[in-house]
Chain A
Amino acid sequence: MSEKSLSLRLPTPRNLGYSFNWVGRIGLMIILFWGAVAIFGPWLTPYPVGEIVDWDYFGPMSDKFWMGTDYLGRDILSRIIMGARYTVGISLASVTLACTGGVILGMVAAVAGGWFDTGLSRLLDAFNGIPSLLFGLVVVAAVGSSIPVLVLTLAAIYLPGSYRFARALAVNVNTMDFVTVARARGERTPYLILQEIFPNILGPVLADLGLRFVFIVLVLSGLSFLGLGVQPPNADWGALVRENIEGLSLGAPAVVFPSIAIASLTISVNMFIDNLPTKIRDRSE
C-alpha cells in the first residue's frame, strides 16, 4: 500500500479519503441551501408571511405567486421560506441536544462501567420502547405545544438511541491500548472521554447525528400535521401541509410544495450520509 503512505504525506481531502461523490455533493448542496434559507428567511420572502395577498384561495402557480397561494390566499413561497426556520431550527436544536446528551452519557457509561452503565442502559432502553410519535402525542397532550416543549420532547425521544450508538462505539475504543495507557498514566474520566475517546468516535457520531436529524424532521412534521406541533399563526412545513390539506382534492400547489420541501430536506440528508466517505461513516450496522 505505497499509495496510502504517500497520500498521508499530502493531506488534501481527496488523499485523506474525505472527498464526496457527486450524489453526496448534491445532498450537501441542498442541505446548505435550506440552511441558508432558514437563516436569511426574513430577507427572502417576497410577501409578508401572515398577510393575505390574493383574493383567490388555493391559487395556482403564477408570476406573482411562484408556488401559488394557500387556503386563505397567503403566498406559499413566503410561508415555506419562513417555515424552513421552524422545521430546520427546531430539528437542529433538538438533534444537537439529543446527540450531545446521548454521546456524553454514552462515553461516560462506557468509561465508568459498573452499575452506572447497567442502570443507565436499562433505563434508556426502556424509553426506546415507547414509539416516538406516541411519546410526542402524550407530552403535547399533557403540557401543550410550544417551541421549547417541542425541542425538549424531540430531544428526549432521540437521546436513548444516540446514547446506545455512542456507548457501543465508545466501548470498542475503551478497550484499545492507548486508553489503557492513558488510564495507567492516571488520567481522569473527563480527560479520557474528551481526549482519547471522543476524537475516535467523532466521524460515526456525526453520521448518526445526520440520520437522527432526519427522524426528528419526520416526527416534527408528523406532530405538526396532526395539529400538535408548531401552532398557528406560525407554521413549519408539516403544519403547512395540514393547513392546506383541503386543497389536495384540487391538486393545489399549496399542499404539494411544502411536502416537496420536507422530502427534499430529508432525502438530501440521507443521500449525503449514505455517500459519506467510509472513513467518516464507518458504521458497523
Chain B
Amino acid sequence: MPASLTPYFLIAQRLGVALITLVIVSFAVFFATELLPGDVAEILLGQAATPEAVAGLREAMGLNQPGIYRFLHWFVGLASGDLGTSYVNNMPVADLISGRLANSLKLAGVTTLFAVPIALSLGIGAAMWRGSIFDRLVSVLTISVISVPEFMVATLAVLIFAVWLGWLPALSYGADVGSWSAMLKAYAMPVITLGFVVSAQMIRMTRAAVIETINTPYVEMALLKGASRSRMVLRHALPNALGPIANAVALSLSYLVGGVIIVETIFNYPGVAKLMVDAVSTRDLPLIQSCAMIFCISYLSLITLADMIAILANPRLRH
C-alpha cells in the first residue's frame, strides 16, 4: 500500500471501530434496560394485576420472544427511524423526541458558538504568557471548574447571576421566545453553565497543545532568529498546533453530553436530557433506550471526529 494512503486507511479503521462500538453500546443499553428488571409487563400493570393480564400483555408486547430476537428487532427499528412506542403515554417515541432534540441541539450549538472562541483565545493566551499571573489565574480557574460537579457550577451561576445580581431568570423556558432579548435571557443561564464546563477542558488541552509545539526546536529557532513572542506563537507554533487543538475542541465538546443532562434538569430546559431523566423516574424503557442511543451516538461521533482530526493533522502519517 502506498504510504500516502495510510491516513485514509487509519480513518476507515477508526470509523469501523466506531461502528462496532455503536453496536456493542446498543447491545449494552438494550440489555441493561430490558433484561435486568423483573418484567416490563408487571411494571406496567402494577402490583394489583392478575397473572392472566400480565401474561396477555407480555404476549401482546412480544416479550415471550427470545432476547436476541427482540434486540435485533429493536436495532433494525432504530436504524430505520422507528424508535418504538412510549410505555407511559402510548405516543411514538420519535414524536416525543423530535422537538426536544431540536431544543437540545440549539442549546449545544449556542454553547459551542460562544465557548469555542473564548476557550481557544484563553488557552492560546495562557500558553503564550506561560507562568504569568494570567496563566496561573486561568489554570486555577479551569482546575476548579473541572474538579467540581456540573451542578455546582450551575448553582453558583444561579446564585451569582440570578440571586445576587438579579440579571437573569433562574429558570429557562426554551420553547417560544419572541424577541432577541427574551431568547438571550432564556438561554443565558444554561449556556453560561454549560460553557464553563466545556471550555475548562478545552482551555487546558489547548494550552497543553500550544506549549508542546512551543517546546519544539523550530519554534526555539524562530525565537533565536529574533521573532517576537507573539509572532513566534501565532506564526510558527500555532499552525502546527491546529491539529491537536481541533482534536481538543472535539474531545471537550463530548463533555456537552454529560453536562447537558445536569444543566437541562437544573434549569428545567425542555431538551432530550430532561426527557430522559423524567423517563428514568417513570421507567419508560423505550424512551430511555432511544435517548441513551442519541447521547451515545453524539458522544461517539465527537470522539471519533477528534481521533480522525488527530490522524489527519499528523504530518508523519502523510509521507
**B21 with A221: CB separation less than 8 A:** no
Q: Is the CB of A130 within 8 A of B261?
A: no
CB contact under 8 A between A228 and B159, given known A134-B292, A262-B148, A266-B148: no
Contacts known (A125-B21, A226-B277, A263-B147); A134 close to B163, Cβ less than 8 A: no
CA distance A93 to B17 in the complex (A): 32
Interfacial chain A residues near B312, Cβ < 8 Å: none
- Residue with the greatest number of chain B CB neighbours at <10 A, chosen from A125, A127, A130, A131: A131
Which of chain B's residues have a CB closer than 8 A to the CB of A269? 147
Interface residues of B in 126-181 (CB under 8 A from A): 143-144, 146-152, 155-156, 158-159, 162-163, 170
Q: How far is the CA of A269 from the CA of B70 in the complex (A)?
A: 45
Q: Please state if B163 and A226 are interface contacts (CB–CB under 8 Å).
A: no
- In the complex, per-residue mask of B252-294: 1 if CB is within 8 Å of any chain A CB, else 0: 0010011001100100000000001101110101001000100
Contact between chains at B151 and A214 (CB < 8 Å): no
With an 8 A cutoff between CB atoms, is B113 at the interface?
Answer: no
Q: Does A45 contact B (CB under 8 A)?
A: no
Contact B147 A266 (CB under 8 A): yes
For the complex, what is the distance from the CA of A251 to the CA of B165, rounded to whole Å? 13
Using a CB–CB cutoff of 8 Å, the interface residues on chain A facing chain B are 122-123, 125-127, 129-134, 137-143, 214, 218, 221-222, 225-228, 238, 241, 245, 248-249, 251, 255, 259, 262-263, 266-267, 269-270, 274
**Contact assessment for A251 and B163 in the assembled complex, using a CB-CB cutoff below 8 Å:** yes
Distance (Å) between the CB of A71 and the closest chain B CB?
A: 15
The 6 A-B residue pairs with the shortest CB-CB distance in the complex, in nearest-first order: A126-B24, A141-B280, A126-B21, A266-B147, A129-B21, A142-B36
Instruction: Tell me if B's interface is mostly helix, strand, loop or mixed.
Output: helix
Bound Cα distance from A245 to B266, whole angstroms: 9
B299 contacts A143, C-beta separation under 8 Å: no
Determine whether B182 belongs to the interface, using a CB cutoff of 8 Å to chain A: no
Bound together, the chains give a CA A218 to CA B258 distance in angstroms of: 11
In the bound complex, CA of A249 to CA of B162 (Å) = 8
Q: Is the CB of A221 within 8 A of B283?
A: no
Cβ contact within 8 Å between B257 and A131: yes
Indicate which residue in B29, B147, B277 contacts A214 across the interface (CB closer than 8 Å). Answer: B147
Q: Are B152 and A263 in contact (CB under 8 A)?
A: yes
B257 near A222: Cβ-Cβ < 8 Å: no
Any A CB within 8 A of the CB of B78: no
A267 close to B143 (CB less than 8 A): yes
Which listed residue, B20, B285, B299, touches A122 by the CB 8 Å rule?
A: B20
- Provide the residues of chain B in CB contact with A125, threshold 8 Å: 17, 21
Q: With the chains together, A251 CA to B159 CA distance in Å?
A: 7
Q: Which of A138, A263, A274 contacts B29 (CB 8 A)?
A: A138
Q: Are A130 and B28 in contact (CB under 8 A)?
A: yes
Q: Does B94 contact A (CB under 8 A)?
A: no
With a CB–CB cut-off of 8 A, which chain A residues contact B146? 270
Q: Nearest A residue to B29 by beta-carbon distance?
A: A138
Interface pairs (27), CB distance under 8 Å: A122-B17, A122-B20, A123-B24, A126-B24, A130-B28, A130-B299, A131-B254, A133-B258, A134-B299, A137-B261, A138-B292, A140-B280, A141-B285, A221-B149, A222-B149, A222-B150, A226-B277, A228-B280, A238-B149, A241-B152, A249-B158, A255-B155, A259-B152, A263-B152, A266-B147, A267-B148, A270-B143
- Taking a contact as CB atoms under 8 Å apart, the answer to whether B295 and A131 are in contact is yes
| Assembled-state Cα–Cα distance A251/B156 (Å) | 10
Q: Contact between A139 and B32 (Cβ–Cβ < 8 Å)?
A: yes
What is the CB-to-nearest-CB distance from A95 to chain B, in angstroms, rounded to a whole number? 15
> Which residues of chain B are near A238, meaning CB under 8 Å?
149, 151
